[in-house]
Amino acid sequence: MIKVNFDIPLDFLHTATPPLIGVDISSSSVKMVELSEASKKGGYIVERYAIEAMPKDAITDGNINNLDAVSESVQRAWKRLGTRIRNVSMALPAAAVITKKILLPAGLREEDLEYQVESEANQYIPFALEEVNLDFQVIGPAPNNPEEVEVLLAASRKANVEDRVAVAQASGLKVLVMDVEPYAAEMAFEQIRAQLPEGAPDKCVALIDVGAYVMNVNVLRNGQSVYSRDQQMGGDQLTKQIQSVFGLSAEDAESAKRNGGLPENYENDVLSPFRESVVMEIARALQFFFTSTQYNEVDYIVLSGGTASLPGLDDAVATKTQVSTMVANPFAMMSLSGRIKPRQLQIDAPSLIIACGLAMRRFDPS
């Protein structure tokens, strides 16, 4: 794997070999996952994971507004994890990163490749290069021309990277890998794809992440993204409905949503209408996919994010879309350490996709 360094301390698209933990920082929580490699039979072992709530408005639209509050949440999550590993892999939200696939002549020397990438970057990045962290990865031969190679270019403003590095440092952690959230999710998705019939070759699989505030639709074919779109829909809307109907604080409403204990009319008056609105948004998102790409169907839907665990959501989506639907669990084919409670992991797994993918960067040979 060719590496490049335009005065940057981190790699977007490359990895490191020392032990590390995956750290996913979202607007609602910090998720951490530690994996190890099974020595005899191959595969992975889930050693530890932790989820810690994030204070409201500490992060909005992927931007860190309150560094101290975010750092405290990260530190609490790390202590709850109970590990000695301080090296971490983190990710930037897709909106903070400019990515572009470019074609360059094959066989370039490393220094010539770096020069060409920098020249191309000037065309696609609306900032001065000294203001951004820039990296690239050679994907492979160009599809229609063996004399060219396809190169993935990634760039983000330095402030976006520096804020996350500062959070880690304030928590006593060291960032070894800086990734991009969709790429981390795609890394973990390989564990899910293996659970589909024959690995779903040449099939369109819609990975739909319903988070606290945003629903991301990422359609993958043979493990490669062919479409991505964000829509404003998330589990926070359900929390607000619970607050309004039952007169609870935001914290109590969130706790009741996760742990139960709400009155009997919760199912009919609150949960069912919200579930239906999520289903309608998913159906609408798929229509956007059909009208803006060459594809006219999806073969599988995989639900991820905290809202994916909503009772009956997978069945409701399958009924509405007539597409085979499953709730994401990237750990289903992994071994579990004695510290892991299998039933709780089953509940939490859909929200751990990005953290899992970041933890897997430890084993990426590229």
> Global pTM?
0.87
Mean pLDDT for each 10-residue chunk of the chain (366 residues)?
A: 36 63 94 89 90 91 92 97 96 88 88 86 82 85 88 88 95 93 91 94 96 92 90 91 91 84 91 96 96 96 93 95 97 96 95 96 76
**What is the DSSP code string of 28-97?**
SEEEEEEEEE-TTT-SEEEEEEEEEEPPTTSEETTEES-HHHHHHHHHHHHHHHT----EEEEEE-GGG-
Domain ranges within the chain, ordered by starting residue: 21-96+158-184+351-363, 196-328
Amino acid at 152: L
Pull the structure tokens for residue 346.
């089953």
SS3 call for 319: helix
Residue 177 belongs to what H/E stretch?
strand 174-180
State the fold for domain 196-328: Nucleotidyltransferase; domain 5 (3.30.420)
- Give the pLDDT score at 339: 95
Intrachain domains 21-96+158-184+351-363 and 196-328 with the same fold: yes
SS3 call for 131: helix
Pull the structure tokens for residue 207.
């990975």
CATH number for the segment(s) 21-96+158-184+351-363: 3.30.420.40
CA 218/CA 102 separation, integer angstroms: 21
SS3 call for 259: helix
- Give the pLDDT score at 11: 56
- Give the pLDDT score at 144: 84
Q: Confirm if 121 and 109 have CB atoms less than 8 A apart.
A: no
